[in-house]
Structure 1
Amino acid sequence: MLTKWPAKLQLYPRDKTDQCIVAIAGRALGNDVKSVSLVVLRNQQRYQYARVAVDSITRSFAFKPTIKAELSQYSFQLFTHRDPPGDSVQVAFRDSIVCGDVFLITGQSNAVGRFADKPFQSEFCRTFGVNNGAVDYNPADTAWCLTNTTEGANALWGVELQRLIKEQQGIPTAIINGAVGSTTITDHANRDGNQPARMNSLYGRLFYRASKAGIVGQVKAMIWRQGEAEAVSDPTVYVRVFPQLYSYWKQDYPGLKKVYHSQINILTDNVVSAGVLRDFQRRSKTIFGDNEPIATVGLPGYQGLHYTEAGYRQFSLELYRLVARDFYASTDTSNIQSPNLQRLYYSTPAQDEITLEFEPDQEMHWPADTTITNPATGARYTQSLSNFIYTNYPTGESGLIKSVIEKDNRLILKLTKSITAKHLTYLPSSYKDNQVGYYVGPVIRNRRGMRALTFYQVPIAPPLPVASDFRATPVDTTAIKLSWDTASDSVSQWSIERADTGGLFKPLAVVPGAATFYKDLRRANGADSLKLGKIYEYRVRSLGRRAESGYSPVATASLQLVVGVKIGPELDLTNAGSLSNSSALVYPNPASDQVRVRLPLDWSGDAITLTLTNEAGMVVLQRNNQVSSGTSFLSFSVAALPVGTYVLIMQYRTGGVRCRLTVIH
């Protein structure tokens, strides 16, 4: 008698080692059975063999063979061996067993989808039980089967997901679909607290099937397409109930790693707060972390509620790329997710420009005006996205966009006038016209064609101040000092950029918001170090948590060598003490050995620091000298230094001097 034995067509979930254990156990009924053997076949070829003795008291036996997650089918043959020895007897046989991954689908009609005209079938694509809609469930419907068969009907896009995983990843899958058309989120969240597998609810019937399949702890992801029912009635219900439904999933499916959360399309029913529901779906990734929102707006074949086969196939392709990234280490990860708005702010003090900022890796594109053909009449008309970007929706304005600048992950909207709007909405809560009848107009996309998630009444952050009186001043050959006067509590950081004569600005530094200056130091041996004779351009902009400013006017500077040696405010290194009008003299210059520095009269009797740096800015000589009263000069040797041009810096308590010194031999 077998107590553990694979079911016909069963899929076992794979573990972290890309394999699984097929537990086999039972009790021998005859006292003369002394041992039991198991033969495992892989694609009809012998793969494993094991033989165990039957326990003399309990008559029990057990095997734990492993099979791989691959496009292979495994068979199991069980034999008994009696005493006295004789031929073994086959007592059980099971074939068509696979190891792979399990996904769940639930929601309403778009999760049921439609069925393909030419359905795809594969021995490596499976399901469990029967999704018979909202009618009572037969507890006996607990068999494994292939998808797209009479007993295993599944959504077109769900089967397409299985096909792509099979063909691209070589992994068998099982998808269990619990979706039912015209159902509400409350229907799906109706869970019996003590008996979650009770079959008097949608939740219970799906959980019952998963429990009977033995996969509740190994479900990879929940794919959720629902919300249309609430969008035409009370959208706030969705916002209130989804967190509870999500908590049930996490409790009952402990291995759940992702929730692919579809954002519904624009419906024709005039319910303004439908935008609230769609925006909650957009923000689900921020709220729950493991949610991945997917935009459905802009899918081909939209019919006002459902889609043609083309729309469901496109959805399955986009879903597959996310699944492949999350579970199959796919390297195709760039711009595969729906762009999701991260920040929205006025980017000029005049508030005649708004910046839409998406995730850092997105490459955003604004659509051209779209020509639409009425399929019923053949009439053609044009729609511009500018007419579907709203300030202070639903009572504000649209059509305010004069032009759009595409800049990596940002879209910079140039407006026709300055505005004072508090929030912005992308696409209306509902739409119905006299042509097609539903929205099939232009949408924001990234470079892979993924549509941006729609957003509703997102606050526009106020503009940050632009740096005023921005200057760049050379500090001899050691640095260029940048300074600005702006100070604001709303500024978190200042981003500084530099361009050389090539004109390409590159990030240089980021300093705290309270800063009003920065020194671009000349560094030794650095590839990007400042060089003598080059002209450098600088610009700065303010950064905040919610916004960024535009750039300051460009300031230009160049490192300068000081040929003569003077004492004056522009050469003062200490900014302290009184300044003398006397002069210092360095000789000989050029020098090959001893160098003398004639000191001004008011320098004697105190400490002097002497520093010599090469053209790369490295210190090659440094001395501290206590000058006796009446001493008129200092001397030092350059005999050991390589030929070249150096900068001599001398510091005194009331000032300092710099000059160029040439060494020859």
Structure 2
Amino acid sequence: MAWAGAWAQPALRLDQWPARLQLYPRNQLSQCTVAISGRTTAGDVKAISLVVARDNKPYQYSKITPDSLTGHFAFSPVIKAELNQYSFQVFVHGVPGRDSVRVAFRDSIVCGDVFLIMGQSNAVGQYGDYTFRSTFCRTFGIHNFNNTYNPADTAWCLTNTKEGLTCLWGMELQRMIKENQGIPTAVINGAVGGTTITSHANRDASQPTSLSTLYGRLLYRASKAGVARQAKAMIWRQGEAEAANNPDVYVRTFPQLYSYWKQDYPGLKKIYHSQINILTNNVVNAGVLRDYQRRSKYIFSDNEPIATVGLSGYEGIHYNEAGHYQFGLELYRLIARDFYGVVDTTGLGSPNLQKLYYSKPGQDEITLEFEPIHKMCWPADTTIIRNGQEYTQRMSNFIYTDYPAGETGLIKSVTERGNTLILALTKPVNAKHLTYLPSSYQDNQVGFYVGPVIRSKLGMRALSFYQMAIAAPLPAAMNLRAAAVDTSAIKLSWDNKTDSLTTWSIERADTSSIFTQIAVLPGSSQTYQDLRDRNLANSLKAGKLYQYRIRSVSLRSASDYSPVVKAMVQDVKLLPQLEVESAPAGIGSGTLLYPNPADTQVTVRLPLEWSGDRIWLTLTNEAGKVVLQRSYQMSLGATSLTFSVATLPSGVYIVSLGYGMGGIKCRLVVAH
């Protein structure tokens, strides 16, 4: 349209334009591009400008000329993922000398991260006294947590408002990311109470965003928000519906649901997969379902199972506020590790059993081995007070051999050793499987399970496992010996060998008795030399006592440790040495060392009187650094010594040989 009167608004249509309160997903540079484009049909529009403000302060300004034929124009301003809000104003400009006119304005725009929630009632939990609210914590669409959705509800809003309700732990997640990482977030929750996994996996292939399906309603909201392809993680809390009825359905259906997520939300980097709590329904295969959730980490590489057995405030199916706050904290710590660079040094996840094996040939001891990062704790007895009476529950009563027909209460004592728990049994057993926690539980005191659970020292609960096979015992090392090889090494030797699938783990400690693995050897090995290298900080130190132990290790099990053996190396006394290229008496004239230059091996001529005695060889490079140090016991009549330089870099070296109160010192050139 033409300009009219003083300044009527010109014809301008915006095709891409931010909504108020919109969150744009950030990229790897922690920023995003806000696409703004449109078309003008007014012939006297000479230019269009964009003004970007950051917290109401000028941030960017751009001015462009629309396409002369189509009137098309486009801007691509970049904003940062930070606790600041951006606004955008579009102005049109007419003939020179006239004022510009603002034709569009949007404010409260941020850049940040998007997380999705799906599941049933434990992903819905809301509490009216939760008061936290922030302009940097957002959601999209009005979700009433039932099986209907109004397609007109496509507005951005703040979480914890009338139109932006989500679950308490989801809002806690947003709060902690905002306060600790300074990143705005959007959480879009599609959970509905009482829903089955089958209903979640009901995807209309011809119309994935169909509002007639539970799956489609979440995808519809995420797509309308423009974030479906950039959502970082799916938080999945579901399974109670199947555990109470038909657990096998869950195991069959989850892979299909997972494949749909990866198809429709291609930016997902993690699936946080909750392992459900113990229900009261007497369904044995509920343990199979929980074990599948535990193993999801190994079936799908991006799954992270989270144990809920032992969460605060459990009430048989649901949780009180304390349980939701605790879950929010634990979920946040994992997300901070996975997306915000927080280094995990203590084991933020739920300990997941890696190996389960008989650790003694008599099969009266079983070892549970979790991920190396965890330091595991065996729980004390739990005392429950109900109606004025006290009840005690022991962890050993919830560890079962060959569940459900086997035995329990067989644990005599437990040794905590880093990431392992060693269970000494009251008797030898021939069990094939071990189960931690029952498939279901109901008592006359509380009614549901509130007993002890295995935890890490951080307090994270171990994932329960069901009918996990107990591996057979491996052979322990027999007759381990340690002896110093003069000043250069400590040699370990033992008598037995193992099969080709087993290795020997060699561990060393000083007098502090803190053992560290220093080598892994094939099962056929029977010796190991711990070489001294003065240039390595963790190398052997002269005059210091060292302790050694070894054990056989396979993919499924490990033996008990060998008895500890001890040894030390002594320093070499500094010996007076002759000048370079000088020869001691009795060696005669001629070449002391050949070939020189050398490639692989070097031979040194020795005086006859050195035969039958010990000599010391040292090679020093031009910087004075010792690169080789050995000692040799010469045989009677020997007049030469040969050693290898094949692994040394080309260069000039000083060769020193010490004997008694004298020695030889020569220059050697190594040339490969």
TM class by smaller structure = 0.7 to 0.9
User: Aligned to 2:199, what secondary structure does the other structure show?
Assistant: helix
Q: What residue number does 1:140 align with?
A: 152
For 1:244-393, what aligned pairs fall within 5 Å after superposition? 244-331=256-343, 333-374=345-386, 377-393=387-403
User: How far does the alpha carbon of each residue in 1:579-634 deviate from its partner, in whole angstroms, 9 at most, with x for none?
Assistant: xxxxxxxxxxxxxx96779xxxxxxxxxxx99xxxxxxxx9994379x9xxxx997
Among all aligned residue pairs of Structure 1 and Structure 2, give the percentage whose two residues are the same amino acid: 64
Which amino acid in structure 2 is aligned with residue 449 of structure 1? G
For 1:532-611, what aligned pairs fall within 5 Å after superposition? 538-555=548-565
Q: Is the 8 A contact 2:612 2:635 kept in 1?
A: no
Q: Is the 8 A contact 1:464 1:548 kept in 2?
A: yes
Q: Is the 8 A contact 1:257 1:290 kept in 2?
A: yes
Which amino acid in structure 2 is aligned with residue 662 of structure 1? G
Q: What residue number does 1:164 align with?
A: 176
Q: Is the 8 A contact 2:15 2:38 kept in 1?
A: yes
Offset of residue 267 of structure 1: 0.6
> What is the CA–CA distance in structure 2 between the aligned matches of 1:521 and 1:197, rounded to whole Å?
65
Larger CA deviation: 300-309 vs 505-514: 505-514
Q: Is the 8 A contact 2:147 2:214 kept in 1?
A: no
Q: Is the 8 A contact 2:500 2:522 kept in 1?
A: no
Q: What residue number does 1:438 align with?
A: 448
> What is the CA–CA distance in structure 1 between the aligned matches of 2:409 and 2:547, rounded to whole Å?
38
Offset of residue 534 of structure 1: 7.3
> What is the CA–CA distance in structure 2 between the aligned matches of 1:175 and 1:407, rounded to whole Å?
40
Out of 192, 204, 220, the residue aligned to residue 192 of structure 1 is 204
> What is the CA–CA distance in structure 1 between the aligned matches of 2:159 and 2:287, rounded to whole Å?
36
Out of 13, 17, 21, the residue aligned to residue 5 of structure 1 is 17
Specify whether residues 105 and 507 from structure 1 end up closer, same or farther in structure 2 by C-alpha distance, changes over 3 A only: closer
Q: What residue number does 2:622 align with?
A: none
Q: What residue number does 2:635 align with?
A: 651
User: Aligned to 2:468, what secondary structure does the other structure show?
Assistant: strand
User: Aligned to 2:561, what secondary structure does the other structure show?
Assistant: coil
Q: Is the 8 A contact 1:185 1:238 kept in 2?
A: yes
> What is the CA–CA distance in structure 2 between the aligned matches of 1:478 and 1:500, rounded to whole Å?
17
Out of 87, 92, 101, the residue aligned to residue 113 of structure 2 is 101
Q: What residue number does 2:578 align with?
A: none
Q: Is the 8 A contact 1:347 1:463 kept in 2?
A: yes
Q: What residue number does 1:517 align with?
A: 527
Out of 131, 139, 143, the residue aligned to residue 119 of structure 1 is 131
Offset of residue 56 of structure 1: 2.1
For 1:14-33, what aligned pairs fall within 5 Å after superposition? 14-33=26-45
Q: What residue number does 1:403 align with?
A: 413
Offset of residue 245 of structure 1: 0.5
Offset of residue 653 of structure 1: 10
Specify whether residues 474 and 75 from structure 1 end up closer, same or farther in structure 2 by C-alpha distance, changes over 3 A only: closer
User: How far does the alpha carbon of each residue in 1:624-653 deviate from its partner, in whole angstroms, 9 at most, with x for none?
Assistant: 79x9xxxx99799x9x99xxxx97733369
Larger CA deviation: 212-221 vs 530-539: 530-539
Q: What residue number does 1:236 align with?
A: 248
Q: What residue number does 2:64 align with?
A: 52
User: Aligned to 1:449, what secondary structure does the other structure show?
Assistant: coil
Specify whether residues 396 and 428 from structure 1 end up closer, same or farther in structure 2 by C-alpha distance, changes over 3 A only: same
Q: What residue number does 2:461 align with?
A: 451
> What is the CA–CA distance in structure 1 between the aligned matches of 2:345 and 2:611, rounded to whole Å?
67
Specify whether residues 386 and 60 from structure 1 end up closer, same or farther in structure 2 by C-alpha distance, changes over 3 A only: same
Specify whether residues 527 and 83 from structure 1 end up closer, same or farther in structure 2 by C-alpha distance, changes over 3 A only: closer
Q: What residue number does 2:219 align with?
A: 207
Q: What residue number does 1:41 align with?
A: 53
Specify whether residues 3 and 481 from structure 1 end up closer, same or farther in structure 2 by C-alpha distance, changes over 3 A only: closer
Q: Is the 8 A contact 2:130 2:168 kept in 1?
A: no
> What is the CA–CA distance in structure 1 between the aligned matches of 2:15 and 2:570, rounded to whole Å?
89
RMSD: 3.4
> What is the CA–CA distance in structure 2 between the aligned matches of 1:17 and 1:409, rounded to whole Å?
37
Specify whether residues 43 and 505 from structure 1 end up closer, same or farther in structure 2 by C-alpha distance, changes over 3 A only: closer
Q: Is the 8 A contact 1:465 1:542 kept in 2?
A: yes
Q: Is the 8 A contact 2:473 2:557 kept in 1?
A: yes
> What is the CA–CA distance in structure 2 between the aligned matches of 1:223 and 1:595, rounded to whole Å?
82
Specify whether residues 535 and 620 from structure 1 end up closer, same or farther in structure 2 by C-alpha distance, changes over 3 A only: farther
Offset of residue 475 of structure 1: 6.2
> What is the CA–CA distance in structure 2 between the aligned matches of 1:215 and 1:61, rounded to whole Å?
24
Which amino acid in structure 2 is aligned with residue 231 of structure 1? A
Q: What residue number does 1:77 align with?
A: 89
Q: Is the 8 A contact 1:594 1:635 kept in 2?
A: no
Q: What residue number does 2:574 align with?
A: none
Offset of residue 292 of structure 1: 0.8
Offset of residue 119 of structure 1: 3.1
User: Aligned to 1:127, what secondary structure does the other structure show?
Assistant: strand
Out of 480, 497, 500, the residue aligned to residue 487 of structure 1 is 497
Out of 415, 425, 441, the residue aligned to residue 435 of structure 2 is 425
Specify whether residues 425 and 167 from structure 1 end up closer, same or farther in structure 2 by C-alpha distance, changes over 3 A only: same
Q: What residue number does 1:623 align with?
A: 605
Q: Is the 8 A contact 1:37 1:78 kept in 2?
A: yes
Q: Which has the larger radius of gyration?
A: 1
Larger CA deviation: 193-202 vs 75-84: 75-84
> What is the CA–CA distance in structure 2 between the aligned matches of 1:400 and 1:317, rounded to whole Å?
35
Which amino acid in structure 2 is aligned with residue 413 of structure 1? L
Offset of residue 315 of structure 1: 0.3
For 1:631-650, what aligned pairs fall within 5 Å after superposition? 649-650=633-634
> What is the CA–CA distance in structure 1 between the aligned matches of 2:64 and 2:508, rounded to whole Å?
76
Specify whether residues 651 and 185 from structure 1 end up closer, same or farther in structure 2 by C-alpha distance, changes over 3 A only: same
Offset of residue 497 of structure 1: 3.7
Offset of residue 72 of structure 1: 1.2
TM-score (norm 2): 0.82
Q: Is the 8 A contact 1:490 1:544 kept in 2?
A: no
Which amino acid in structure 2 is aligned with residue 190 of structure 1? N
Offset of residue 112 of structure 1: 0.9
> What is the CA–CA distance in structure 2 between the aligned matches of 1:653 and 1:524, rounded to whole Å?
33
Larger CA deviation: 10-19 vs 470-479: 470-479
Q: What residue number does 1:663 align with?
A: 661
> What is the CA–CA distance in structure 1 between the aligned matches of 2:280 and 2:142, rounded to whole Å?
33
Offset of residue 120 of structure 1: 1.9
User: Aligned to 1:176, what secondary structure does the other structure show?
Assistant: strand
Offset of residue 340 of structure 1: 0.7
> What is the CA–CA distance in structure 2 between the aligned matches of 1:214 and 1:157, rounded to whole Å?
24
TM-score (norm 1): 0.83
Specify whether residues 420 and 331 from structure 1 end up closer, same or farther in structure 2 by C-alpha distance, changes over 3 A only: same
User: How far does the alpha carbon of each residue in 1:94-153 deviate from its partner, in whole angstroms, 9 at most, with x for none?
Assistant: 111111111100011101122341332211111111223343322111111111112111
> What is the CA–CA distance in structure 1 between the aligned matches of 2:441 and 2:370, rounded to whole Å?
25
Offset of residue 402 of structure 1: 1.1
Specify whether residues 522 and 208 from structure 1 end up closer, same or farther in structure 2 by C-alpha distance, changes over 3 A only: closer
> What is the CA–CA distance in structure 2 between the aligned matches of 1:150 and 1:524, rounded to whole Å?
69
Which amino acid in structure 2 is aligned with residue 98 of structure 1? V
> What is the CA–CA distance in structure 1 between the aligned matches of 2:86 and 2:98, rounded to whole Å?
28
User: How far does the alpha carbon of each residue in 1:402-444 deviate from its partner, in whole angstroms, 9 at most, with x for none?
Assistant: 1111111111111111111111111111111111111111111
Which amino acid in structure 2 is aligned with residue 338 of structure 1? S
Q: Is the 8 A contact 1:20 1:66 kept in 2?
A: yes
Offset of residue 203 of structure 1: 0.5
